[in-house]
């Protein structure tokens, strides 16, 4: 994830990994056995909004699984030594009938990639990659100035590739970070995070890369944005340094192409940046937000409910900040909740059922109101 990759997040909760290592042999053998797990044995009793929970990947670090427009496939990023991927690369897989086999590779296999999203028509996938800067996996800084950090790779640019992996278009080519791109449900717009204005801000562009518009302009890291079901709003997570000390630290870290992910809250606004509202005021890390199909609630990942900050679960909240509800109850990590286009299913990434390894896998379930 770039900064949204699970690899980095797992490091934040202190058990490795939005850089990842593949499963060890013993862990892989355990996962092979776990493939036989039947559907709702994977669901905790408190998870009443989930039904028929099914595991799609087995082994490695798999995250940020996003639905195709048809709702029949998921794009995702993965690090898996058994697939020959040393750092995150982009894949896609069918939702029905998939049982963990190696899926088709969409990215080049070079550099590091993040945030794959199907383009309208489901014939191509957009993603960010560092491969033009270097074909090697970039180093992952863990600590800068004594602070835990996420890398902001200046080599990230946004590309479109067909399902055979052929790059058909490069959408960004400005110096600095361009990544975290997602597509509006109406197929007309792309939102992404960029440093082109000197800070990590949200930008939109038309589906062909034209008509660039800056959305946010307040100091702090704005990222991980998604459109509302009607394509009129954006939900995203942001850091907002307030004190002079916080501002100075943020600027000095950004100058070294890193940020701290330890204090983030969820915001919503119109696609032009108007009517900006802070949704969560929970403290700690609140991130990976996504609109509920109604457009009236948001699902997001958070560690606010634990003193240690080492446990992430998925929560639901209304746009006005009321009605907070816990959705998942894994004792380690659940994040990246994404609804299918028809709202009937939800995909997310989790450490559950990983045979006590460090693996993160993609799960899908029917959504129950």
Q: Give the count of beta carbons closer than 10 Å to the beta carbon of residue 342.
A: 11
pTM of the entire predicted model: 0.90
Cβ neighbours of residue 241 closer than 8 Å, sequence gap 6 or more? 219, 220, 247, 249, 250
Task: Pick the more confident residue, 165 or 11.
Answer: 165
pLDDT per residue as tens digits for the range 176-209? 999 999 999 999 999 999 999 999 999 999 999 9
| Residue 91 and residue 118 in contact, taking contact as beta carbons nearer than 8 Å | no
pLDDT of residue 39: 64
Structural domain spans, the chain: 2-367
How are strands ordered across the β-sheet holding 325-326?
286-291, 297-302, 313-318, 325-326
Distance (Å, whole) CA 128 – CA 5: 12
The secondary element (H helix, E strand) that includes residue 366 is strand 361-367
Cβ neighbours of residue 264 closer than 8 Å, sequence gap 6 or more? 221, 237, 238, 239, 285, 286, 287
pLDDT per residue as tens digits for the range 210-244? 999 999 999 999 999 999 999 999 999 999 999 99
Percent of the chain at pLDDT exceeding 70: 89
pLDDT of residue 166: 98
Q: Does domain 2-367 have CATH number 3.40.47.10?
A: no
pLDDT per residue as tens digits for the range 72-101? 999 999 999 999 999 999 999 999 988 889
Q: In the numeric block, which tokens belong to residue 176?
A: 């600095």
pLDDT per residue as tens digits for the range 289-331? 999 999 999 999 999 999 988 899 999 999 999 999 999 999 9
Q: 6 phi and psi, to 5 degrees?
A: -65, -30
């Amino acid at each position: 994830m770039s900064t949204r990759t699970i690899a980095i997040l797992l490091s934040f909760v202190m058990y490795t990994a939005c850089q990842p290592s593949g499963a060890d042999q013993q862990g892989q053998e355990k996962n092979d056995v776990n493939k036989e797990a039947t559907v709702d044995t994977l669901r905790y009793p408190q998870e009443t909004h989930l039904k028929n929970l099914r595991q799609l990947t087995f082994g490695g670090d798999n995250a940020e699984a996003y639905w195709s427009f048809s709702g029949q496939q998921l794009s995702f990023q993965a690090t898996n030594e058994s697939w020959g991927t040393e750092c995150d690369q982009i894949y896609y897989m069918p939702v029905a009938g998939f049982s963990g086999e190696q899926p088709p590779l969409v990215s080049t296999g070079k550099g590091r990639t993040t945030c794959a999203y199907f383009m309208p028509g489901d014939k191509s996938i957009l993603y960010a990659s560092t491969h033009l800067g270097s074909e090697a996996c970039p180093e992952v800084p863990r600590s800068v100035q004594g602070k835990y950090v996420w890398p902001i790779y200046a080599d990230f640019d946004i590309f479109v590739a067909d399902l055979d992996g052929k790059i058909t278009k490069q959408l960004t080519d400005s110096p600095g970070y361009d990544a975290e791109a997602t597509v509006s449900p109406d197929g007309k717009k792309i939102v992404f995070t960029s440093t082109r204005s000197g800070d990590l801000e949200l930008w939109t562009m038309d589906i062909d890369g034209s008509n660039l518009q800056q959305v946010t302009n307040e100091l702090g890291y704005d990222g991980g944005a998604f459109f509302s079901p009607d394509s009129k709003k954006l939900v995203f997570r942001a850091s907002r340094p307030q004190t002079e000390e916080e501002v100075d630290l943020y600027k000095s870290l950004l100058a070294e192409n890193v940020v701290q992910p330890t204090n983030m809250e969820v915001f919503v606004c119109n696609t032009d940046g108007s009517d900006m509202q802070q949704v969560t005021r929970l403290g700690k890390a609140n991130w990976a937000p996504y609109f509920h199909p109604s457009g009236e609630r948001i699902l997001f990942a958070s560690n606010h409910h634990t003193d240690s900050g080492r446990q992430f679960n998925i929560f639901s909240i209304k746009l006005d900040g009321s009605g907070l509800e816990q959705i998942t109850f894994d004792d380690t990590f659940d994040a990246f909740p994404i609804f299918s286009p028809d709202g009937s299913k939800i995909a997310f990434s989790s450490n559950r059922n990983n045979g006590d390894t460090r693996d993160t896998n993609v799960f899908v379930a029917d959504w129950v109101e």
